[in-house]
Structure 1
């Protein structure tokens, strides 16, 4: 099975794909998920402007062919990334997601807005404010101190710093989205049939 997005679809079991297909087609019979349906699909309502911008950016990164829809293969690729991808691949995706203006770097404002949006969506309590977290990230990985993170800085420096990598993956993880799909995919009796 071909996969233009490069996600490790082969790591997903046939049972998982079957369950995800049923969920996808139940929620989106047309086979093409719009941004509005994407938000409904994951129960994302009454979002702040920042959280809404983050969800729109996420939708755009999952829409690999940029046709304004997420089809089933893009959906599987996204879930594969969230659930199965190695750290380096997730960090590359995070970088593209956080680079809101698409200029090839992440500035403090972009990172701060993303952190605030993710925290609003996740609803988790944190020991540090979004501003403190953003400052810590820049202090640790903005090697040339230019106020912007290049993809190279982001990938190299985050992977070198176990504490920062752990904090980033915990704070910025998208498992809550995958959890919605997994918890709603099939009743237990149907899962056993796979």
Structure 2
């Protein structure tokens, strides 16, 4: 993890103020190779991460608390749970800065295929390599809950189910009741409507 070592401090000037960004050079260099962020961006992200999470890792409750501040109009706890599990790549109940910034790099700077792979992993709640209708319905419902009535004043209760039925009709090519990564990638990349629907998630990650 990124620890604070006196000899590794780098001083930067922002708005006339001298401030310290602290990191382990070997950790930063590794993340420069693994992500699509610049050295400066990684330093800024790290400082923000450490401000919110002084211990250097986030547990699920802290993650939910941070997320709820961004979506006060709805209940973001279920979606934050799903998102936390997608970021928690080591499955240890903690998201480190490395976990966070690696996922963020894919979401913000990844290719279409990389983003879709990440989204597939998010929807595949039990991580068995398939997305079921139930899993996608759970995700959609959590998003609608989070966005709240302020965003969707006329939303019907069955809107998430209709959204999922529409997805599955297009994605489940062999009609076996599950969507594989191959079906997911092919459907999303070939169908402009699905790609536009995917932009719903740009605002909630």
> Does TM, normalized by the shorter one, top 0.5?
yes
Partner of 1:159 in structure 2? 189
CA RMSD of aligned residues (A): 2.5
Taking the aligned partners of 2:42 and 2:62, their CA distance within structure 1 comes to: 20
Higher relative contact order (CA 8 A, sep 6+): 1
Aligned pair in 2 of structure 1 residues 35, 14: CA closer, same or farther (>3 Å)?
A: same
Taking the aligned partners of 2:204 and 2:73, their CA distance within structure 1 comes to: 17
Partner of 2:12 in structure 1? none
Match of 1:145 among 167, 175, 178: 175
Q: Do 2:125 and 2:135's aligned partners in 1 also have CA atoms closer than 8 Å?
A: yes
Q: Do 2:87 and 2:103's aligned partners in 1 also have CA atoms closer than 8 Å?
A: yes
Partner of 1:33 in structure 2? 58
Answer yes or no: is 1:20 the counterpart of 2:48. no
Partner of 2:145 in structure 1? 120
Structure 1: any 5+ residue segments left out of the alignment?
178-194
Answer yes or no: is 1:108 the counterpart of 2:133. yes
Aligned-pair CA distance for 1:52: 3.2
Corresponding residue pairs, total:
169
TM-score scaled by length of structure 1: 0.76
Aligned-pair CA distance for 1:127: 7.7
The list of structure 1 runs, each at least 4 consecutive aligned residues, that deviate by more than 3 angstroms after superposition, is 44-48, 51-54
Corresponding residue SS for 1:70: strand
Aligned-pair CA distance for 1:160: 0.8
Partner of 2:104 in structure 1? 79
Partner of 2:201 in structure 1? 172
Corresponding residue SS for 2:122: helix
Structure with larger Rg: 2
TM-score scaled by length of structure 2: 0.73
Corresponding residue SS for 1:33: strand
Aligned pair in 2 of structure 1 residues 172, 46: CA closer, same or farther (>3 Å)?
A: closer
TM-superposition CA deviations, 1:86-126 (whole Å, max 9, x none): 22111111111111122221111111110111122234338
